[in-house]
Chain A
């Protein structure tokens, strides 16, 4: 199975900051990676698919890039509603696997 190493495991930042989360895959994934946001007590919500394509309705302050087997989610101008846990998900092959999650908190 493809292993994904997500970092950092937690992040504390201020409103208006720019923050980045990275997932590193054990194998090449092409662009077969998605990002989700999960708020406390809720199901995950799709943010990004195809490594860099914003899902409908996702604010443009979310951006994602790929470099080799490294995938990065960046939130520019952090807002209070961005708190939650972020996960990456590879769908390059089965079994699908997820990163361990990054818990984002506001200072």
Chain B
């Protein structure tokens, strides 16, 4: 059974860096049919795509313009995990963060999601 298991700090202080991991079991993060995404959900419920990483001969990353300059998404193949780093967080970064797999073979829908990591940005 394929699973995405997330972990993270829960509480982050303003101006610090948020780091989250997503361990993939039952699938390979280096699959050339998959893309690994991060999506967050605000306290009011809105979903926002943050970015993704994927390998097609080499690793690529695509980021939402609203996140560029602050976000890094990377893959650790040996440890079967995907990571998100978000720098200089503010209270606006509070929400639930999800990793999600796109296994469409190109760039498409998200067929598998992690359980979510609630993050509060507060001093």
Contacts and interface: CB of A to CB of B under 8 A. Distances in A.
Nearest to A45: B113
A20 to B, nearest CB: 20
A97 B49 contact: yes
Chain A interface size, under 10 / 10 to 19 / 20 to 34 / 35 or more: 20 to 34
Contacts of A34: 108-110
Counting chain B CB atoms within 10 Å of each CB, the highest count among A45, A50, A85, A95 belongs to: A95
Contacts of A97: 49
Contacts of B107: 91
* Chain A binding surface SS class: loop
Contact of A87 (B47, B62, B102): B47
A43 B113 contact: yes
A43 B114 contact: yes
Interface residues of B, number: 22
**B interface SS class:** loop
A96 interface: yes
Contacts of A71: none
B66 interface: yes
Contacts of A94: 49, 62, 64
Interface string B78-98: 000000000000000000001
A20 B53 CA distance: 34
B84 to A, nearest CB: 15
B45 A85 contact: yes
Contacts of B112: 46
A77 interface: no
A62 interface: no
Interface of A: 1, 32, 34, 36, 42-46, 49-50, 55, 85, 87, 89, 91, 94-98, 100-101
